[in-house]
Amino acid sequence: MPTVLSVSRLVALLREVVEDNFVEVMVEGEISNFSAPASGHYYFSLKDQKAQVRGVMFRSQNRLLRFRPENGMKVICTGRMTLYPQRGELQLVAEALVPAGLGELQLAFEQLKARLAEEGLFAQERKRPLPAFPGTVGVVTSRTGAAIHDMLHVLNRRGAGARVLLRSVRVQGEGAAQEIAEAIADLNREATADVLIVGRGGGSLEDLWAFNEEIVARAIHGSKIPVISAVGHEVDFTIADFVADLRAPTPSAAAEMVAKSRLELEGHLDHLVLRMAAQMKGRVGLLKERVSGLRSRLRSPRQALELMRLRHADLDRRLQQAMAAAVIDRRRSLGSLCGRLNTLSPLQTLSRGYAIVFDAKTGRAVHDAEDLSCGDRLDIRLHRGQVKALVTEE
């Protein structure tokens, strides 16, 4: 007597058979019954003249699509087959979806990408950093395209001061890949550029295809000069992007990357100059106060010497003795004064937790809070170091 199966058991067995035997399939057909509910998933049917199959593309996958599916669109769907238990129907779980007209290009892209990755052309450890201060930037693009004009505008605006060496090439169509590869090789032979930018403006997959050619990938990989790939818009990815030392989302962004290091250094130097000027100003002020204090406390022996010189020669010996005694006495006095000076020194006071507040604008010491207003900037001298402050309340 045959075994009696429950519906759930039968569906589970069928699902197991389907999923084990159709792990990855590529199906070409026409989309119908397409819907995109609030969940973000795509639901559709894939059909031809004789049959149809239900399909689903979950949000995590369809957000990577570069187009929105529509009813009547012919596509090539890559995914796996399963059986939806609740309705007992076959379902294609799509992981990739491309218009049928682009299927061949997309397949070529994926195959070349996988092969070059296996060879190590995309390895992160071979990526080189950009030079900090490129004197010459080599650019491989069309002289008539928007990309070169965008890059020159950015470099001029940011004051990079770099020389641009353009190798004009065709960036799409037959022979474009060969010209791009030759231009990269020429710039390497010339060896005057510090960094290369290879790219073009946005376009369709066919327009950008020259940058997916193996000859261009090999040329970038073989370049001794660091290469920035700047092809298309931010959503566009080409083989050149994976091989290059750095990918820029747009040609303008590539120019900004080249000019970035110089601008950061200039900003840092400006900051250091301002800090040094403020510190020197505070230190000179303190030294002036110390000199003024010492000057007011020192006593000159000139008057006493003038009187002694008027005495008779026979008092010379006594004068020498008196002078020696006076010198000893003044050394002791000076030592005492130095001790007192150290006690009264502003630096000694600062070491006990006090601070000197200066008006950042005038450089004068602040003695009265009424002299300040909201928004005034202050320089506060501590025992060790100096800080800046802003008056927020009166």
Please state the φ and ψ torsions of residue 163, each to the nearest 5 degrees.
Answer: -85, 135
Q: What is the pLDDT of residue 221?
A: 95
Q: What is the pLDDT of residue 103?
A: 54
**pLDDT single digits (tens) 27-50:** 999 999 999 999 999 999 999 888
Residue whose structure tokens are 């290369």: 196
Q: What is the pLDDT of residue 138?
A: 92
Block means of pLDDT (10 residues each) for the chain, 394 residues, are 81 83 89 92 91 92 80 87 87 87 66 89 91 87 89 79 88 92 94 92 84 94 94 85 93 85 69 84 84 70 61 69 80 79 69 78 79 80 81 76
Q: What is the pLDDT of residue 79?
A: 93
* Complete DSSP assignment for 124-141: GGG--PPPSS-SEEEEEE
CA angle (214, 218, 219) in 5-degree steps: 115
Query: Taking the CB of residue 326, how many other CB atoms lie within 10 A of it?
Result: 15
Residue whose structure tokens are 């000057």: 295
Q: What is the pLDDT of residue 312?
A: 61
Residue whose structure tokens are 């090439």: 169
If we measure between CA atoms, which residue out of 67, 213, 182 comes closest to residue 231?
213
Q: How is domain 7-107 classified at the architecture level of CATH?
A: Beta Barrel (2.40)
The rounded distance, in Å, linking the Cα atoms of 39 and 373 is 57
Q: What is the pLDDT of residue 123?
A: 92
pTM comes to 0.47
Distance of CA 213 to the CA centre of its chain: 29
Q: What is the pLDDT of residue 307?
A: 60
- Whether the Cβ atoms of residue 259 and residue 133 lie closer than 8 Å to each other: no
The rounded distance, in Å, linking the Cα atoms of 266 and 160 is 11
Q: What is the pLDDT of residue 38?
A: 92
Q: How many residues does the chain have?
A: 394
Q: What is the pLDDT of residue 46?
A: 92
Give the pairing type, strands 42-47 and 25-35.
antiparallel
- Quote the strand ranges of the chain, DSSP E: 25-35, 42-47, 52-57, 74-84, 89-99, 136-141, 163-168, 195-200, 227-231, 246-247, 356-359, 377-381, 386-390
- Whether the Cβ atoms of residue 55 and residue 92 lie closer than 8 Å to each other: yes
Q: What is the pLDDT of residue 388?
A: 84
Tokens of 363: 């450089």
The domains spanning 7-107 and 123-262 adopt the same CATH topology: no
Q: How is domain 123-262 classified at the architecture level of CATH?
A: 3-Layer(aba) Sandwich (3.40)
- Whether the Cβ atoms of residue 376 and residue 391 lie closer than 8 Å to each other: yes
Give the single-character DSSP code of 367. -
The rounded distance, in Å, linking the Cα atoms of 344 and 332 is 18
Domain residue limits, the chain:
7-107, 123-262, 345-394
Helix, strand, coil % in the chain, rounded to nearest 5: 45, 20, 30
